[in-house]
Structure 1
């Protein structure tokens, strides 16, 4: 709350609220005129003019030209000043680390995709990420001090009680208490968030992909692991422990030795390793990846087609439970298998679901974001939070109004 001489100033508070509303509307719309802002926010034109003047003085927004073509005077347009803040988005995957710096309007200033060697200790991984952040900042022409917020997308569940990552076997050592704190300092003094990678992929789908404009949808990630991100009323649902969507543990599929290696039943049969394992049991030779199996199926290999049929059956039974609980309008298939083999799976999965669900089958589509889903989700989360941070800092440093 804004205070003057220790006494709350109602006028000052209202001005800050108005400025926040105007700033958020510009952030949402991009280029926008004063009349459009007045109509969208319900604020008077003098109030809009005052808010814009304060936001421009704080270097949060800027005039960006005129809108012409309509009758009457040309309208002056305003937009967010891109350099008002920067987001560092980091996707820590099993095989790759993807890192990008975006300005406050979401334009990517620099990006790197680097192959992981695997098995790094937490300190080794953090040191590597810090080096990438420095390199990326140099390429983007910004200082690390200019980074407003860093968002890390990781496998597993962020246990806030112990400040550690649980259920993340591809990140050894991160289950130790306090490990999350190692991320501090990757990008200087910038605050940071740690989010589940599949949750971020769902946010990415909502912001940039097939989920745009859809309030209720689920992203089911099928690749080296299996997980789900849930969007309800346009917002990410995490659950009480942040573990909502850990569907790898659904009791779907026959038992498999992989279950005894810390993997859930569904993941043991429907992940990439499960696909390769079944192919081997069915007599396929020289198969080292799920992609090999799906390529062979496209080429007419009968054993490979049997694997694809089994995969579709596993996915359909998992989705039947998900649909019964969540009733989504859309299910997006992501991850390596979901994207690469979506053309082979969506048809039979939809057909199986017709016999498994009570009402109509939701739309089922393969993600169009590919390997960028997690990074884009981290960017979307970061931009929303960075917008609030730069506004709050502007108020703290020189109270708007």
Structure 2
């Protein structure tokens, strides 16, 4: 990767320009707390390095015009990959957040070819500055993780065929979704919230003081490990709560209730919710019970972190039929907490990974100075 060789002040101004997308020198001077002459010198340095370029001019209130700058051809780009078990999505953006490419596949085996195609198209925007890969595993700091888990994460990344030497970071997929909610979703105006994902698996991303909480081992929010069931006659088992709240158990309960009916039991959670939406009494009963169970989990999280907001996501969690029951249960068991459905949908994870990648890409350019 080419070195930029810019100074500290140039790095600061570059970061401000990347955050703004485009700006004039007076605007950058205000953003960075620097004098206008200093910013003029810095912009000349950034232009010479190919990290900034003029994109036009802007007329001020006095009628004077000011040059407008944007990132230059050597600023580069970043890549985010959501490597799910059944779906893979990617998103390439400039360091200013401009969308350059996005793609997805339902065949994980073809993910490497999809990534290679995106890298080929992105090369016209300069060097690849950072890659973030979202995985379903716990991502632990060095020396804290389970060796088998770490090996699975390495295998997932290796299978993508990323360039040698690329700055690659892995992050848990639910944590990525929480970051997306913080940056552009329901959590934008909240200092603290919990993103609760309910689908085939369950998980939570915890944001406190506008910062993601990862925990000592990177396992904060791994609610599948909550002690369940907690009863005198039954001992808790690892991930028993996930076995109760995951979509497989939901469909298993549906099959048990369908005995004696002439129509086949729903084979997917989406089919079950579709029947409930049409007013099928059995489907409505099952959805109501599941909503209460998810509400119990949400209330437990509220008891620990008092987030003020719970955002429901995941293939099951973001179904709006679930919301009233979750809200009622949280209201009954916890203090006032807003509960909403994610508006980012299935894209939340890749959007959050893209935000992380962009942050790291800007940092990489600044650090090269």
Q: Is the 8 A contact 1:85 1:390 kept in 2?
A: no
2:139 counterpart residue number? 158
2:351 equivalent among 346, 366, 376: 376
| CA distance in 1: counterparts of 2:74 and 2:191, whole angstroms | 31
2:352 is the counterpart of 1:392? no
Relative distance call for 1:62 and 1:314 in structure 2 (3 A) is same
RMSD: 2.9
Extract structure 1 runs of 4+ deviating beyond 4 A.
162-168, 178-181, 252-255
Tell me by how many angstroms 1:195 deviates: 0.6
In the aligned structure 2, how far is the partner of 1:323 from the partner of 1:32? 41
Unaligned 5+ segments in structure 1 are 1-12, 118-124, 396-401
Tell me which residue corresponds to 1:23: 14
- Is the partner of 1:320 in helix, strand or coil? helix
State the distance in 1 between where 2:344 and 2:148 align. 27
In structure 2, which of residues 134, 152, 159 is the aligned counterpart of residue 174 of structure 1?
Answer: 152
What corresponds to 1:131 in structure 2? 113
SS at match of 1:344: coil
User: 2:227·2:238 contact (CA, 8 Å) conserved in 1?
Assistant: no
1:111 corresponds to: 102
> Structure 1-normalised TM-score?
0.80
The structural deviation recorded for 1:180 is 6.7
Whole-Å separation in 1 of the counterparts to 2:138 and 2:89: 19
Which of 177, 197, 205 is the equivalent residue of 1:229?
205
Q: Secondary structure at the match of 2:88?
A: strand
Match of 1:349 among 326, 332, 345: 326
TM-score (norm 2): 0.87
Measure the CA separation in 1 of the matches of 2:324 and 2:247.
Answer: 20
Report 1 or 2 for greater relative contact order, CA contacts < 8 Å, sequence distance ≥ 6. 2
Shift in Å, 1:167: 6.5
Instruction: For residue 389 of structure 1, report the CA deviation from its aligned partner.
Output: 1.0
Aligned ranges 1:8-47 → 2 under 5 Å: 16-47=7-38
Aligned equivalent of 1:286, options 247, 265, 281 = 265
Matching residue of 2:214: 238
Name the SS of the counterpart of 1:40 in structure 2: helix
1:133-148 correspondence to structure 2 within 5 Å: 133-138=115-120, 140=121, 142=123, 146-148=127-129
Q: Deviations over 1:53-105 (max 9, x none)?
A: 21222211222212225224122222223651111211111211112322222
Counterpart position of 2:317? 338
Shift of residue 188, structure 1, vs aligned partner: 3.6
